[in-house]
Structure 1
Amino acid sequence: MIHEIDEALRRLVKEEALPSSGVEVVFEAPTKEWAARRNAPTVNVYLYDIREDLRRRSRGLINEYDEQGRVVQRIAPPRYIKLSYLVTAWTQRPEDEHRLLSALLLGFIRFDAVPATLLTGSVAAIGLPVPMTVALPPPEDRAFADVWSALGGELKPSLDVVVSTPLHSGQVVAAGPPVREGLQVGLSDISDEEAATDVAGHHVEDAARPAMRRRAAGR
Protein backbone atom coordinates (compact mmCIF):
# COMPACT_ATOMS: atom_id res chain seq x y z
CA MET A 1 0.00 0.00 0.00
CA ILE A 2 2.76 2.48 0.91
CA HIS A 3 4.70 1.87 -2.28
CA GLU A 4 1.51 2.48 -4.29
CA ILE A 5 1.08 5.90 -2.67
CA ASP A 6 4.77 6.59 -3.32
CA GLU A 7 4.27 5.94 -7.01
CA ALA A 8 1.12 8.09 -7.10
CA LEU A 9 3.01 11.01 -5.55
CA ARG A 10 5.92 10.53 -7.95
CA ARG A 11 3.54 10.80 -10.89
CA LEU A 12 1.75 13.75 -9.29
CA VAL A 13 5.04 15.65 -9.05
CA LYS A 14 6.28 14.79 -12.54
CA GLU A 15 2.96 15.00 -14.43
CA GLU A 16 1.03 17.72 -12.58
CA ALA A 17 3.40 19.92 -10.58
CA LEU A 18 6.60 19.83 -12.65
CA PRO A 19 5.73 18.51 -16.14
CA SER A 20 8.61 18.30 -18.62
CA SER A 21 11.08 19.63 -16.04
CA GLY A 22 13.36 16.61 -15.91
CA VAL A 23 13.70 16.98 -12.14
CA GLU A 24 14.49 13.73 -10.36
CA VAL A 25 12.06 12.51 -7.67
CA VAL A 26 13.50 10.40 -4.85
CA PHE A 27 12.24 9.00 -1.55
CA GLU A 28 15.51 8.69 0.39
CA ALA A 29 16.09 10.28 3.79
CA PRO A 30 17.55 13.79 3.16
CA THR A 31 20.55 13.37 5.45
CA LYS A 32 23.83 15.28 5.17
CA GLU A 33 25.45 12.32 3.46
CA TRP A 34 22.65 12.15 0.88
CA ALA A 35 22.82 15.90 0.24
CA ALA A 36 26.57 15.67 -0.36
CA ARG A 37 26.06 13.04 -3.09
CA ARG A 38 23.34 15.01 -4.90
CA ASN A 39 24.50 16.53 -8.20
CA ALA A 40 21.25 17.38 -10.06
CA PRO A 41 17.99 19.25 -9.33
CA THR A 42 15.99 16.91 -7.13
CA VAL A 43 12.65 16.76 -5.35
CA ASN A 44 12.85 14.64 -2.21
CA VAL A 45 9.58 13.09 -0.97
CA TYR A 46 10.53 11.59 2.39
CA LEU A 47 8.02 9.46 4.34
CA TYR A 48 8.63 10.36 7.98
CA ASP A 49 5.48 9.29 9.82
CA ILE A 50 2.83 6.52 9.62
CA ARG A 51 -0.22 6.41 11.89
CA GLU A 52 -3.94 5.62 11.76
CA ASP A 53 -6.36 8.43 10.92
CA LEU A 54 -8.75 7.86 13.83
CA ARG A 55 -11.15 10.55 12.64
CA ARG A 56 -12.04 8.40 9.65
CA ARG A 57 -12.52 5.09 11.49
CA SER A 58 -15.96 3.50 10.94
CA ARG A 59 -17.76 1.00 13.16
CA GLY A 60 -19.89 -2.03 12.36
CA LEU A 61 -19.64 -4.55 9.54
CA ILE A 62 -20.31 -4.39 5.80
CA ASN A 63 -22.36 -7.15 4.13
CA GLU A 64 -21.06 -8.85 1.00
CA TYR A 65 -23.64 -10.45 -1.30
CA ASP A 66 -23.49 -13.18 -3.92
CA GLU A 67 -25.22 -13.13 -7.32
CA GLN A 68 -28.52 -14.24 -5.73
CA GLY A 69 -28.44 -11.35 -3.27
CA ARG A 70 -27.62 -13.53 -0.26
CA VAL A 71 -25.18 -12.41 2.42
CA VAL A 72 -22.06 -14.56 2.14
CA GLN A 73 -19.83 -12.76 4.65
CA ARG A 74 -19.41 -9.58 6.64
CA ILE A 75 -16.21 -7.55 6.62
CA ALA A 76 -14.91 -4.69 8.74
CA PRO A 77 -14.83 -1.32 6.94
CA PRO A 78 -11.45 -0.11 5.68
CA ARG A 79 -9.12 1.68 8.08
CA TYR A 80 -7.45 4.92 7.00
CA ILE A 81 -3.69 5.29 7.44
CA LYS A 82 -2.04 8.72 7.45
CA LEU A 83 1.22 8.83 5.51
CA SER A 84 3.14 12.05 6.20
CA TYR A 85 5.75 13.17 3.65
CA LEU A 86 8.39 15.88 3.92
CA VAL A 87 8.74 17.37 0.42
CA THR A 88 11.89 19.40 -0.27
CA ALA A 89 13.63 20.83 -3.34
CA TRP A 90 17.38 20.56 -3.84
CA THR A 91 19.37 22.69 -6.32
CA GLN A 92 22.56 24.79 -6.27
CA ARG A 93 20.74 28.05 -5.56
CA PRO A 94 18.06 28.81 -2.91
CA GLU A 95 16.14 30.89 -5.48
CA ASP A 96 15.75 27.86 -7.73
CA GLU A 97 14.64 25.73 -4.77
CA HIS A 98 11.97 28.29 -3.92
CA ARG A 99 10.69 28.23 -7.52
CA LEU A 100 10.43 24.46 -7.35
CA LEU A 101 8.63 24.60 -4.00
CA SER A 102 6.19 27.16 -5.41
CA ALA A 103 5.42 24.90 -8.38
CA LEU A 104 5.05 21.90 -6.06
CA LEU A 105 2.67 23.81 -3.77
CA LEU A 106 0.49 24.87 -6.70
CA GLY A 107 0.54 21.33 -8.08
CA PHE A 108 -0.51 19.68 -4.82
CA ILE A 109 -2.98 22.26 -3.55
CA ARG A 110 -5.26 21.83 -6.58
CA PHE A 111 -6.30 18.41 -5.29
CA ASP A 112 -8.24 17.52 -2.16
CA ALA A 113 -7.49 13.85 -2.86
CA VAL A 114 -4.95 11.92 -4.87
CA PRO A 115 -6.35 11.73 -8.43
CA ALA A 116 -7.94 8.34 -9.04
CA THR A 117 -6.08 8.06 -12.36
CA LEU A 118 -2.79 7.93 -10.44
CA LEU A 119 -3.82 5.14 -8.05
CA THR A 120 -2.79 1.54 -8.68
CA GLY A 121 -2.90 -1.88 -7.03
CA SER A 122 -4.77 -2.50 -3.80
CA VAL A 123 -5.49 1.20 -3.18
CA ALA A 124 -7.22 1.54 -6.54
CA ALA A 125 -9.10 -1.75 -6.00
CA ILE A 126 -10.77 -0.43 -2.83
CA GLY A 127 -12.39 2.29 -4.93
CA LEU A 128 -12.54 4.93 -2.15
CA PRO A 129 -11.19 8.50 -2.23
CA VAL A 130 -7.66 9.04 -0.91
CA PRO A 131 -7.74 12.44 0.88
CA MET A 132 -4.62 14.59 0.73
CA THR A 133 -3.59 17.79 2.50
CA VAL A 134 -0.59 20.04 1.95
CA ALA A 135 1.16 22.68 4.07
CA LEU A 136 -1.08 22.32 7.12
CA PRO A 137 0.35 23.02 10.59
CA PRO A 138 1.90 19.91 12.15
CA PRO A 139 0.23 18.24 15.16
CA GLU A 140 1.14 19.47 18.61
CA ASP A 141 3.13 16.31 19.32
CA ARG A 142 5.40 16.73 16.30
CA ALA A 143 7.52 19.58 14.91
CA PHE A 144 9.45 19.71 11.65
CA ALA A 145 12.55 20.85 13.52
CA ASP A 146 12.48 17.53 15.35
CA VAL A 147 12.39 15.68 12.02
CA TRP A 148 15.42 17.57 10.73
CA SER A 149 17.24 16.98 14.02
CA ALA A 150 16.59 13.25 13.73
CA LEU A 151 17.95 13.32 10.16
CA GLY A 152 21.08 15.12 11.32
CA GLY A 153 20.63 17.96 8.84
CA GLU A 154 19.94 21.67 8.89
CA LEU A 155 16.39 23.04 8.82
CA LYS A 156 15.24 23.54 5.23
CA PRO A 157 12.04 24.94 3.64
CA SER A 158 9.64 22.07 3.00
CA LEU A 159 6.04 21.11 2.30
CA ASP A 160 4.19 18.72 4.58
CA VAL A 161 2.02 16.44 2.45
CA VAL A 162 -0.30 14.06 4.31
CA VAL A 163 -2.16 11.29 2.50
CA SER A 164 -4.93 9.29 4.23
CA THR A 165 -5.15 6.03 2.36
CA PRO A 166 -7.81 3.33 2.94
CA LEU A 167 -6.56 -0.10 3.93
CA HIS A 168 -8.50 -3.36 4.24
CA SER A 169 -8.18 -4.64 7.81
CA GLY A 170 -8.68 -8.28 6.78
CA GLN A 171 -11.32 -8.82 9.50
CA VAL A 172 -13.99 -11.15 8.06
CA VAL A 173 -17.04 -12.65 9.82
CA ALA A 174 -18.60 -15.66 8.11
CA ALA A 175 -22.36 -15.48 7.53
CA GLY A 176 -24.63 -18.36 8.55
CA PRO A 177 -26.56 -20.41 5.96
CA PRO A 178 -29.75 -18.83 4.62
CA VAL A 179 -33.07 -19.77 6.24
CA ARG A 180 -34.89 -22.27 3.99
CA GLU A 181 -38.01 -23.03 6.08
CA GLY A 182 -40.54 -20.89 7.89
CA LEU A 183 -41.36 -20.94 11.59
CA GLN A 184 -43.13 -24.12 12.71
CA VAL A 185 -45.28 -24.57 15.84
CA GLY A 186 -46.14 -28.02 17.24
CA LEU A 187 -48.88 -29.05 19.76
CA SER A 188 -48.99 -32.18 21.90
CA ASP A 189 -51.01 -33.66 24.81
CA ILE A 190 -49.62 -33.52 28.31
CA SER A 191 -50.06 -36.06 31.12
CA ASP A 192 -52.18 -35.55 34.24
CA GLU A 193 -49.06 -35.11 36.33
CA GLU A 194 -47.79 -32.36 34.03
CA ALA A 195 -51.20 -30.69 34.02
CA ALA A 196 -51.24 -30.74 37.82
CA THR A 197 -48.26 -28.36 37.96
CA ASP A 198 -48.68 -24.67 37.20
CA VAL A 199 -46.18 -22.44 35.47
CA ALA A 200 -44.38 -21.59 38.69
CA GLY A 201 -43.91 -25.30 39.47
CA HIS A 202 -46.53 -25.47 42.30
CA HIS A 203 -48.81 -28.49 42.84
CA VAL A 204 -52.43 -27.91 41.77
CA GLU A 205 -55.39 -29.41 43.63
CA ASP A 206 -57.56 -32.00 41.90
CA ALA A 207 -60.42 -29.55 41.54
CA ALA A 208 -58.22 -27.23 39.49
CA ARG A 209 -56.92 -29.94 37.18
CA PRO A 210 -59.67 -29.64 34.51
CA ALA A 211 -58.98 -25.92 34.18
CA MET A 212 -55.27 -26.60 33.98
CA ARG A 213 -55.85 -29.16 31.23
CA ARG A 214 -57.88 -26.61 29.25
CA ARG A 215 -55.17 -23.99 29.63
CA ALA A 216 -52.45 -26.46 28.75
CA ALA A 217 -54.37 -27.58 25.68
CA GLY A 218 -54.70 -23.99 24.57
CA ARG A 219 -50.90 -23.36 24.68
Structure 2
Amino acid sequence: MIHEVDEVLRALFRTEALAGSQVNVVFDAPTRDWAATVNAPTVNLYLYDIREDMRRRERGLYNEYDERGTVVSRRRPPRYFKLSYLITAWTRRPEDEHRLLSSLLSCLLRYESLPPGRLTGELAGAVVPIPLTIALPPPEDRSFADVWSALGGELKPSLDLVVSVPVTESPVYAAGPPVGDEGLSLGFSGIPPATRPTTADAGAGAGAGAGAGAGAGADRPEQTVYGRLPDVPNPAARRADRSRAAGRRPRPGISSRVAEDEQDGARE
Protein backbone atom coordinates (compact mmCIF):
# COMPACT_ATOMS: atom_id res chain seq x y z
CA MET A 1 0.00 0.00 0.00
CA ILE A 2 2.78 2.49 0.92
CA HIS A 3 4.94 1.56 -2.08
CA GLU A 4 1.93 2.03 -4.36
CA VAL A 5 1.51 5.60 -3.08
CA ASP A 6 5.22 6.16 -3.78
CA GLU A 7 4.80 5.08 -7.38
CA VAL A 8 1.72 7.28 -7.88
CA LEU A 9 3.59 10.35 -6.60
CA ARG A 10 6.68 9.56 -8.68
CA ALA A 11 4.61 9.21 -11.87
CA LEU A 12 2.60 12.35 -11.07
CA PHE A 13 5.73 14.47 -10.59
CA ARG A 14 7.58 13.14 -13.62
CA THR A 15 4.67 13.56 -16.05
CA GLU A 16 3.23 16.87 -14.81
CA ALA A 17 5.45 18.93 -12.50
CA LEU A 18 8.81 17.88 -13.99
CA ALA A 19 7.77 17.10 -17.56
CA GLY A 20 10.66 17.45 -20.03
CA SER A 21 13.35 17.78 -17.35
CA GLN A 22 16.08 15.42 -16.18
CA VAL A 23 15.28 15.75 -12.46
CA ASN A 24 15.52 12.60 -10.35
CA VAL A 25 12.74 11.61 -7.91
CA VAL A 26 13.97 9.63 -4.89
CA PHE A 27 12.67 8.63 -1.46
CA ASP A 28 15.93 8.57 0.54
CA ALA A 29 16.38 10.14 3.96
CA PRO A 30 17.94 13.60 3.33
CA THR A 31 20.81 13.18 5.77
CA ARG A 32 24.09 15.04 5.59
CA ASP A 33 25.86 12.01 4.16
CA TRP A 34 23.20 11.54 1.48
CA ALA A 35 23.32 15.24 0.52
CA ALA A 36 27.07 14.89 -0.12
CA THR A 37 26.40 12.25 -2.79
CA VAL A 38 23.85 14.27 -4.80
CA ASN A 39 25.38 15.33 -8.11
CA ALA A 40 22.24 16.00 -10.23
CA PRO A 41 19.00 17.94 -9.79
CA THR A 42 16.88 15.84 -7.44
CA VAL A 43 13.48 15.95 -5.78
CA ASN A 44 13.36 14.04 -2.52
CA LEU A 45 10.11 12.67 -1.06
CA TYR A 46 11.07 11.45 2.39
CA LEU A 47 8.35 9.50 4.26
CA TYR A 48 8.95 10.63 7.82
CA ASP A 49 5.70 9.75 9.62
CA ILE A 50 2.90 7.14 9.50
CA ARG A 51 -0.10 7.36 11.82
CA GLU A 52 -3.85 6.70 11.77
CA ASP A 53 -6.20 9.54 10.89
CA MET A 54 -8.58 9.33 13.85
CA ARG A 55 -10.90 11.98 12.41
CA ARG A 56 -11.91 9.52 9.70
CA ARG A 57 -12.48 6.55 12.01
CA GLU A 58 -15.95 5.05 11.55
CA ARG A 59 -17.87 2.53 13.61
CA GLY A 60 -20.38 -0.12 12.68
CA LEU A 61 -20.26 -2.65 9.84
CA TYR A 62 -20.58 -2.47 6.06
CA ASN A 63 -22.91 -4.92 4.29
CA GLU A 64 -21.68 -6.96 1.33
CA TYR A 65 -24.30 -8.15 -1.18
CA ASP A 66 -24.46 -10.89 -3.79
CA GLU A 67 -25.89 -10.60 -7.31
CA ARG A 68 -29.45 -10.98 -5.94
CA GLY A 69 -29.05 -8.11 -3.49
CA THR A 70 -28.92 -10.37 -0.41
CA VAL A 71 -26.57 -9.56 2.45
CA VAL A 72 -23.97 -12.34 2.56
CA SER A 73 -21.36 -10.86 4.92
CA ARG A 74 -20.38 -7.79 6.90
CA ARG A 75 -17.03 -6.12 7.47
CA ARG A 76 -15.62 -3.13 9.27
CA PRO A 77 -15.28 0.22 7.51
CA PRO A 78 -11.84 1.15 6.11
CA ARG A 79 -9.31 2.82 8.42
CA TYR A 80 -7.29 5.75 7.10
CA PHE A 81 -3.57 6.15 7.68
CA LYS A 82 -1.73 9.41 7.08
CA LEU A 83 1.53 9.14 5.15
CA SER A 84 3.56 12.33 5.70
CA TYR A 85 6.21 13.18 3.11
CA LEU A 86 8.90 15.86 3.43
CA ILE A 87 9.47 17.19 -0.12
CA THR A 88 12.74 18.97 -0.83
CA ALA A 89 14.60 20.05 -3.96
CA TRP A 90 18.36 19.64 -4.39
CA THR A 91 20.35 21.60 -6.99
CA ARG A 92 23.52 23.70 -7.15
CA ARG A 93 21.63 27.02 -6.91
CA PRO A 94 18.88 27.97 -4.39
CA GLU A 95 16.93 29.71 -7.17
CA ASP A 96 16.61 26.42 -9.05
CA GLU A 97 15.44 24.68 -5.88
CA HIS A 98 12.74 27.31 -5.39
CA ARG A 99 11.64 26.90 -8.99
CA LEU A 100 11.27 23.15 -8.52
CA LEU A 101 9.30 23.58 -5.30
CA SER A 102 7.00 26.05 -7.05
CA SER A 103 6.29 23.56 -9.83
CA LEU A 104 5.60 20.76 -7.32
CA LEU A 105 3.28 22.97 -5.27
CA SER A 106 1.30 24.04 -8.35
CA CYS A 107 0.95 20.42 -9.42
CA LEU A 108 -0.33 19.18 -6.05
CA LEU A 109 -2.77 22.09 -5.61
CA ARG A 110 -4.73 20.82 -8.63
CA TYR A 111 -5.82 17.73 -6.71
CA GLU A 112 -7.71 17.12 -3.51
CA SER A 113 -7.09 13.38 -3.77
CA LEU A 114 -4.80 11.07 -5.71
CA PRO A 115 -5.88 10.92 -9.39
CA PRO A 116 -7.99 7.75 -9.82
CA GLY A 117 -6.49 7.10 -13.26
CA ARG A 118 -3.01 6.71 -11.78
CA LEU A 119 -3.92 4.26 -9.01
CA THR A 120 -2.62 0.71 -9.26
CA GLY A 121 -2.76 -2.48 -7.20
CA GLU A 122 -4.81 -2.29 -4.02
CA LEU A 123 -5.28 1.45 -4.41
CA ALA A 124 -7.11 0.89 -7.71
CA GLY A 125 -9.67 -1.26 -5.89
CA ALA A 126 -10.46 1.41 -3.31
CA VAL A 127 -14.10 2.54 -3.56
CA VAL A 128 -13.42 5.82 -1.73
CA PRO A 129 -11.17 8.77 -2.67
CA ILE A 130 -7.62 8.97 -1.31
CA PRO A 131 -7.36 12.56 -0.02
CA LEU A 132 -4.15 14.56 0.14
CA THR A 133 -3.14 17.87 1.70
CA ILE A 134 -0.14 20.05 0.93
CA ALA A 135 1.76 22.65 2.97
CA LEU A 136 -0.53 22.68 5.99
CA PRO A 137 0.81 23.83 9.38
CA PRO A 138 2.55 21.00 11.22
CA PRO A 139 0.81 19.38 14.19
CA GLU A 140 1.49 20.73 17.65
CA ASP A 141 3.36 17.63 18.80
CA ARG A 142 6.23 18.12 16.32
CA SER A 143 7.84 20.68 13.99
CA PHE A 144 9.89 20.40 10.83
CA ALA A 145 12.93 21.68 12.70
CA ASP A 146 12.71 18.56 14.87
CA VAL A 147 12.64 16.39 11.75
CA TRP A 148 15.76 18.03 10.38
CA SER A 149 17.48 17.72 13.74
CA ALA A 150 16.69 14.01 13.81
CA LEU A 151 18.12 13.64 10.30
CA GLY A 152 21.30 15.46 11.26
CA GLY A 153 21.08 17.81 8.30
CA GLU A 154 20.68 21.53 7.70
CA LEU A 155 17.23 23.11 7.54
CA LYS A 156 16.00 23.56 3.96
CA PRO A 157 12.77 24.92 2.44
CA SER A 158 10.35 22.03 2.06
CA LEU A 159 6.74 21.05 1.38
CA ASP A 160 4.75 18.83 3.72
CA LEU A 161 2.55 16.37 1.80
CA VAL A 162 0.06 14.19 3.70
CA VAL A 163 -1.80 11.37 1.92
CA SER A 164 -4.64 9.63 3.82
CA VAL A 165 -4.74 6.05 2.56
CA PRO A 166 -7.74 3.78 3.31
CA VAL A 167 -6.87 0.27 4.47
CA THR A 168 -9.74 -2.16 3.87
CA GLU A 169 -8.14 -5.24 5.42
CA SER A 170 -10.48 -6.36 8.24
CA PRO A 171 -12.25 -9.50 9.50
CA VAL A 172 -15.28 -10.65 7.48
CA TYR A 173 -18.37 -11.74 9.43
CA ALA A 174 -20.80 -14.11 7.68
CA ALA A 175 -24.43 -12.96 7.66
CA GLY A 176 -27.31 -15.22 8.72
CA PRO A 177 -29.96 -16.47 6.26
CA PRO A 178 -32.48 -13.82 5.16
CA VAL A 179 -36.01 -13.83 6.60
CA GLY A 180 -38.64 -14.44 3.92
CA ASP A 181 -42.38 -13.81 3.83
CA GLU A 182 -43.05 -17.19 5.42
CA GLY A 183 -41.28 -16.15 8.63
CA LEU A 184 -38.97 -18.24 10.76
CA SER A 185 -39.20 -21.96 11.59
CA LEU A 186 -38.39 -22.88 15.18
CA GLY A 187 -37.69 -26.36 16.50
CA PHE A 188 -36.05 -28.38 19.26
CA SER A 189 -32.50 -29.63 18.96
CA GLY A 190 -30.36 -31.63 21.32
CA ILE A 191 -33.34 -32.85 23.39
CA PRO A 192 -33.68 -36.65 23.84
CA PRO A 193 -37.04 -37.99 22.52
CA ALA A 194 -37.86 -39.49 25.93
CA THR A 195 -38.03 -36.06 27.54
CA ARG A 196 -40.38 -34.52 24.97
CA PRO A 197 -44.08 -34.30 25.97
CA THR A 198 -46.33 -36.75 24.06
CA THR A 199 -50.02 -37.59 23.92
CA ALA A 200 -49.28 -40.51 26.23
CA ASP A 201 -47.92 -38.15 28.88
CA ALA A 202 -50.99 -35.96 28.52
CA GLY A 203 -53.29 -38.94 28.98
CA ALA A 204 -51.34 -40.11 32.03
CA GLY A 205 -52.24 -36.92 33.89
CA ALA A 206 -55.98 -37.18 33.17
CA GLY A 207 -56.79 -39.28 36.27
CA ALA A 208 -59.01 -42.32 35.83
CA GLY A 209 -58.07 -43.07 32.21
CA ALA A 210 -54.35 -42.86 32.80
CA GLY A 211 -53.66 -46.55 32.15
CA ALA A 212 -55.70 -46.75 28.97
CA GLY A 213 -54.32 -43.47 27.65
CA ALA A 214 -50.73 -44.54 28.29
CA GLY A 215 -51.24 -47.84 26.52
CA ALA A 216 -52.87 -46.23 23.52
CA GLY A 217 -50.29 -43.46 23.25
CA ALA A 218 -47.34 -45.86 23.39
CA ASP A 219 -47.96 -46.96 19.80
CA ARG A 220 -48.60 -43.47 18.44
CA PRO A 221 -45.90 -41.22 16.98
CA GLU A 222 -44.52 -38.54 19.24
CA GLN A 223 -46.63 -35.41 19.27
CA THR A 224 -46.08 -32.26 21.27
CA VAL A 225 -49.07 -31.25 23.40
CA TYR A 226 -49.65 -27.59 24.05
CA GLY A 227 -51.59 -27.02 27.28
CA ARG A 228 -54.15 -24.30 27.90
CA LEU A 229 -53.93 -21.80 30.70
CA PRO A 230 -56.77 -22.08 33.28
CA ASP A 231 -59.55 -19.52 33.07
CA VAL A 232 -59.27 -16.85 35.74
CA PRO A 233 -62.68 -15.42 36.79
CA ASN A 234 -63.00 -11.71 37.26
CA PRO A 235 -63.26 -10.28 40.80
CA ALA A 236 -67.00 -9.44 40.49
CA ALA A 237 -67.84 -13.03 39.58
CA ARG A 238 -65.86 -14.35 42.56
CA ARG A 239 -67.66 -12.04 44.98
CA ALA A 240 -70.99 -13.18 43.54
CA ASP A 241 -70.04 -16.83 44.04
CA ARG A 242 -69.07 -16.22 47.68
CA SER A 243 -72.33 -14.34 48.32
CA ARG A 244 -74.47 -17.16 46.92
CA ALA A 245 -72.51 -19.69 48.98
CA ALA A 246 -73.24 -17.63 52.12
CA GLY A 247 -76.98 -17.33 51.29
CA ARG A 248 -76.83 -13.62 50.45
CA ARG A 249 -77.95 -11.92 47.34
CA PRO A 250 -75.24 -10.31 45.30
CA ARG A 251 -75.02 -6.57 45.56
CA PRO A 252 -76.91 -5.20 42.58
CA GLY A 253 -75.71 -2.45 40.35
CA ILE A 254 -77.14 1.07 40.38
CA SER A 255 -79.83 0.34 37.80
CA SER A 256 -80.95 -2.75 39.76
CA ARG A 257 -81.16 -0.78 43.01
CA VAL A 258 -83.38 1.90 41.42
CA ALA A 259 -85.71 -0.76 40.07
CA GLU A 260 -86.01 -2.45 43.50
CA ASP A 261 -86.75 0.89 45.20
CA GLU A 262 -89.55 1.56 42.74
CA GLN A 263 -91.05 -1.87 43.40
CA ASP A 264 -90.90 -1.36 47.21
CA GLY A 265 -92.64 2.00 46.82
CA ALA A 266 -95.42 0.45 44.77
CA ARG A 267 -96.03 -2.21 47.41
CA GLU A 268 -96.38 0.35 50.14
**TM-score, normalising length from structure 1?**
0.83
Q: What is the CA-CA distance between 1:25 and the residue it aligns to?
A: 0.2
Mapped to 1, the partners of 2:152 and 2:226 lie a distance apart of 88
Superposition pairs of residues 177-216 of structure 1, within 5 angstroms: 177-179=177-179, 181-183=182-184, 189-190=226-227, 195=230
Matches within 5 A, 1:50-199: 50-179=50-179, 181-183=182-184, 189-190=226-227, 195=230
- Rg larger in 1 or in 2? 2
Shift of residue 57, structure 1, vs aligned partner: 1.3
Aligned-residue CA RMSD in angstroms? 2.3
Amino acid at match of 1:190: G
CA distance in 2, matches of 1:169, 1:132: 21
Cα offset for 1:189? Answer: 4.8
Contact 1:77 1:169 in 2 (8 A): no
Structure 1 segments (4+ residues) deviating >4 Å: none
What's the CA shift string for 1:8-45, capped at 9, x where partnerless?
A: 11111111211111210000101111111111000000
SS, match of residue 121 in structure 1: coil
Greater length-normalized contact order (CA 8 Å, ≥ 6 residues apart):
1
3-state SS in 1 of match to 2:84 = strand
Report the counterpart of residue 27 of structure 2 in structure 1: 27
Q: Which moved more, 1:170-179 or 1:146-155?
A: 170-179
What is the identity, as a one-letter code, of the residue corresponding to 1:58?
E
1:13 and 2:50 aligned: no
Q: Runs of 5+ in structure 2 lacking a partner? A: 187-223, 233-240, 242-268
- Hey, which of these two has a bigger chunk of strand by percent? 1
CA contact (8 A) 1:74 1:172 kept: yes
Q: CA deviation at 1:144?
A: 0.2
Are residues 86 and 173 of structure 1, via their aligned partners in 2, closer, same or farther at CA, if it must alter by over 3 Å?
Answer: same
Counterpart-to-counterpart distance in 1, 2:167 and 2:185: 45
Q: Deviations over 1:90-138 (max 9, x none)?
A: 0011111111111111111111111111111111101211111111100
1:43-96 superposed Cα distances (whole Å, 9 cap, x missing partner):
000000001111111111111011122111001111111000000000011111
Q: Tell me how far apart the structure 1 counterparts of residues 75 and 179 of structure 2 sit (CA, whole Å).
A: 21
Residues in 2 aligned to 1:60 and 1:45: alpha-carbon distance in whole angstroms:
36
